[in-house]
Chains A and B, each alone.
Chain A
């Protein structure tokens, strides 16, 4: 479901390490990307490219598996057959997307088991919005619609990136998510145009989630040496502000047309610049939550850890020494 910009931690070291790379191979690599060709796992690639992509795809995978939990919260309580089955399918898709993305990251050399260990030991980041709870069914609907919408903006951009396995995974994910977005919109519309109880539930959920949604794409990008290189290498595809503006353009009118309001008096589109203006999100709070101090960080990790621990006997039972792990091909 969830793009990568929301975790956005570029390396803080001044050095890119590029001075240690073979200049001829590096030039060929860059020329290939400039020609619009994708990089495939068998190709030579600079260490920085491998490292950044691994981190980005891994975080994206974690965001899917953790991102399945806030909606999973309502899987046993979805009202009526139609919602119940769709909620199950959607949560299932998020797990499936994690599988696809872990596989893409594995082609770069890090095993899935190692990524999962890093996740449950708190060493890896995932999209920060999932550290917030879904206290009502309406909160789950807000995620299904608007967080998925944000993610699609992000993923469509990333699907034009340079790494073949990531592009293939994203193509599949975007195709599957067409359903998520419609389902989420459908559920929100039913609530917003429904009975007074439903409407109040939906407005309250939207008020709770809006600040987190505004942080979904991350703070404004600071142009660093790294950002410039990662954009040239088509690892980072669009600026956070660009994605956020596109999202607001597409979805604020759809929120307003069903009579819902957004808890930001400043929110308005400047028709001259084509840019949306809004109250700057609380980035200090964002930082605090991403660093572990959010309402659900401990629970999210504990759930993943419990799943791993409770399933360990199954995996132990099935391991056969004769099947040696080799990284997937593509």
Chain B
């Protein structure tokens, strides 16, 4: 695949699927105010994916609605982390923390991408992503230093989620060209920045960072291999849209 399309599809699909997942919390959050904050960030993710699908559309791909609402799981390039069901709040917060740190650093790097339209989007989203990271860090620090119950839950969620989070950085065949053409710094570099960034926050908690060398990254998502959760998610998301794909809803 063209390196631009390859990169954009991965980014857009990640944001779409995680935005969709996080919207499931709307009305069910642990505190009214948190319910509202979490929903805003889910909306932001949807908005980011839309902007990225628009870039793809400008490069000749189909309309954003068609791309988002009519493909099946094997055609999705998201990492498996984002497709997992919302679970309990400890998992959803941990996923938010691990994903959004990668996202913040990714877009910081993309701000100087050789592909100017993407660089523009990245610069614009800086403030939004900053809030997302602030939100994630604050929660991680609070819950990671709170009651024994909370620390145990968060540690469990971290241990469970990390192998999936490593799947964020799965590379594709386009990777060498993505780096050489200055589109993006590359997943390996991003991963090392991410590791430094999350380690710094986790160090301020009672949580232990598992030894990443002992973990096997959950890969496959970038090549269309997904968990059993993605297709049902897509079917649900497109339930109304597919009643009449020609209709203007």
Contact = CB atoms under 8 A, between A and B. Distances in A.
Interface of A: 65, 68-69, 72, 74-81, 83-85, 88-89, 91-92, 94-96, 98-99, 102, 137, 187, 190-191, 194-195, 197-198, 303, 306-307, 310-318
Contacts of B192: none
A77 B221 CA distance: 23
B223 interface: no
Given A92-B39, A95-B35, A313 B29 contact: no
B244 A75 contact: no
A99 B37 CA distance: 12
B241 A79 contact: yes
Contact of A88 (B23, B28, B33): B23
A88 B50 CA distance: 15
Contact of A89 (B43, B236, B241): B43
B247 A194 contact: yes
B149 A313 contact: yes
Contacts of B89: 310-311, 314
B30 A137 contact: no
What are the 3 A-B residue pairs with the smallest beta carbon separation, nearest first?
Answer: A311-B30, A317-B150, A317-B146
Given A317-B143, A317-B149, A83 B249 contact: yes
A317 B238 CA distance: 38
Chain B interface residue count: which class? 35 or more
Contacts of B40: 92
Interface string B68-92: 1100000000000000000011000
A76 B46 contact: no
Contacts of B23: 75-76, 88
Max chain A Cβ within 10 angstroms of own Cβ: one of B40, B42, B150, B247:
B247
Contacts of B239: 77
Contacts of A313: 149-150, 153
Nearest to B93: A314
27 contacts: A68-B27, A76-B24, A77-B239, A78-B240, A81-B46, A81-B68, A88-B42, A91-B39, A92-B40, A95-B35, A99-B32, A187-B249, A190-B249, A194-B248, A197-B243, A197-B244, A198-B249, A306-B28, A307-B28, A311-B30, A311-B89, A313-B149, A313-B153, A316-B149, A317-B143, A317-B147, A318-B146
